[in-house]
């Protein structure tokens, strides 16, 4: 496995793989890798593709009051895990390599429909940063496919839109959310929960489960389903609900009458840490 830091080296490595008639599969990450990322790597390897894992904490997707500085970084441990998983290359570029014109550079990629809702509403500029960095990674790595976790459901849908609208020749492969035994979705941010907070983190998955049960029992009023999620979160003293919404799974527009195939999305702070999760009804 190689660790690549520069754009010319990354491009050259991709060309070599493609000349050998192998596919290149990209797993974009911000590092602090865990079993959720591993699921993406394993799925990426299916069919014999050479797997590139990018590790880059992208400054432009963090708001001014978000956790960019405190975001966990450990490239050595990440590289060891990637090597164990049979990854061909880790691409770990610098900010200069990704933003040659500086972080205020003049070209950004923006999705303007799905990105207005939910996370986009609470985190202005977040998806602009995500789309921009993913577009850059696609241009640099030139992957045949790229893998994204369903844990970040809105991100997955926005990336699919970007690929459709900008005609990127990249197949987007969604991967189901990997969870701890108690239902908590694996996330690099879980490291920041205290023991007491970690004990309350399952409340998001519990709230989604309650909604699913109500739906399966015949409840179709989306506002009732959302209220049930909100009540469930209120029972955890360290948790503060940000949103709980039933939405169309493609447009992410809120629905009044829930249907099979809609998505339930939830975001909450547990202590200072913001967690998100979702479930397809
Ligand atoms: P991140 O490093 O948090 O930006 O995540 C990189 C990729 O891994 C994204 O596509 C995430 O959706 C995916 N991912 C993160 N956590 C999980 C998880 N628990 N299960 C599946 N995919 C995940």
For 48, phi then psi, to 5°, come to: 80, 15
Between CA 53 and CA 41 the distance in angstroms is 8
How far does residue 166's CA lie from ligand 1's centre (Å)?
A: 23
How far does residue 169's CA lie from ligand 1's centre (Å)?
A: 22
Q: Which atom of ligand 1 is nearest to the CA of 33?
A: 2
pLDDT digits over 93-139, tens only?
Answer: 999 999 999 999 899 999 999 999 999 999 999 999 999 999 999 99
Residues written for the chain:
281
Q: Which atom of ligand 1 is nearest to the CA of 185?
A: 19
Say what the pLDDT of residue 191 is.
93
> What is the set of domains in the chain, with CATH numbers?
2-175 (3.40.50.620), 188-280 (3.30.1300.10)
How far does residue 206's CA lie from ligand 1's centre (Å)?
A: 20
Residue in 140, 137, 136, 116 with CA at minimum distance from that of residue 126: 116
Q: Do 248 and 262 contact (CB within 8 A), yes or no?
A: yes
Q: Do 263 and 278 contact (CB within 8 A), yes or no?
A: yes
Between CA 176 and CA 160 the distance in angstroms is 16
pLDDT digits over 186-215, tens only?
Answer: 999 999 999 999 999 999 999 999 999 999
The set of catalytic residues is 37
Average pLDDT for residues 160-173, to the nearest whole number?
Answer: 98
Predicted confidence (pLDDT) at residue 278 exceeds the cutoff of 90: yes
What confidence category does residue 227 fall into, taking pLDDT thresholds of 50, 70 and 90? very high
Residue with CA at minimum distance from ligand 1 atom 13? 149
Verdict on whether the full-model pTM lies above 0.75: yes
Say what the pLDDT of residue 31 is.
98
How far does residue 44's CA lie from ligand 1's centre (Å)?
A: 13
What confidence category does residue 47 fall into, taking pLDDT thresholds of 50, 70 and 90? confident
pLDDT digits over 58-104, tens only?
Answer: 999 999 999 999 999 999 999 999 999 999 999 999 999 999 999 99
Distance of CA 229 to the CA centre of its chain: 22
Query: Which H or E element spans position 269?
Result: strand 263-270
Between CA 66 and CA 126 the distance in angstroms is 10
Residue with CA at minimum distance from ligand 1 atom 14? 149
Say what the pLDDT of residue 173 is.
98
Q: What sign results for the dihedral spanned by CA atoms 81, 42, 52, 88? A: positive
Contact residues of ligand 1, CB 6 A cut-off: 29-30, 36-37, 39-40, 148-149, 151-152, 175, 177-178, 185-188
Say what the pLDDT of residue 105 is.
86
Between CA 72 and CA 33 the distance in angstroms is 10
What confidence category does residue 180 fall into, taking pLDDT thresholds of 50, 70 and 90? very high
């Amino acid at each position: 496995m190689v660790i690549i830091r520069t754009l010319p080296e990354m491009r050259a490595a991709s060309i070599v793989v493609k000349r050998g008639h192998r596919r290149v599969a990209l797993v974009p990450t911000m590092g602090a890798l865990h079993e959720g990322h591993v699921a993406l790597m394993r799925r990426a390897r299916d069919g014999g593709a050479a797997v590139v894992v990018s590790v880059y904490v992208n400054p432009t997707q963090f708001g001014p009051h978000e956790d960019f500085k405190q975001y966990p970084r450990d490239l050595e441990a990440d590289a060891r895990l990637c090597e164990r998983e049979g990854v061909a290359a880790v691409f770990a570029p610098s900010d200069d390599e990704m933003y040659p014109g500086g972080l205020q550079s003049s070209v950004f990629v923006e999705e303007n429909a799905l990105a207005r809702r939910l996370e986009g509403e609470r985190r202005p500029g977040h998806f602009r940063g995500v789309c921009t960095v993913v577009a850059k990674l696609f241009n640099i790595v030139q992957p045949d496919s790229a893998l994204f976790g369903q844990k970040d459901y809105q991100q997955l849908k926005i990336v699919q839109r970007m690929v459709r609208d900008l005609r990127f020749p990249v197949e987007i492969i969604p991967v189901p959310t990997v969870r701890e035994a108690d239902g908590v979705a694996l996330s690099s941010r879980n490291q920041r929960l205290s023991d007491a907070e970690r004990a309350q983190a399952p409340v998001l998955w519990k709230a989604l489960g309650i909604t699913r049960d109500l739906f399966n029992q015949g409840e179709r009023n989306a506002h009732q389903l959302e209220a049930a999620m909100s009540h469930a979160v209120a029972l955890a003293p360290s948790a503060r609900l940000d949103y709980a919404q039933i939405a169309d799974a493609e447009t992410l527009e809120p629905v009044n009458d829930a249907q099979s195939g809609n998505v339930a999305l939830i975001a909450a702070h547990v202590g200072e840490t913001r967690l998100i999760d979702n479930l397809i009804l």
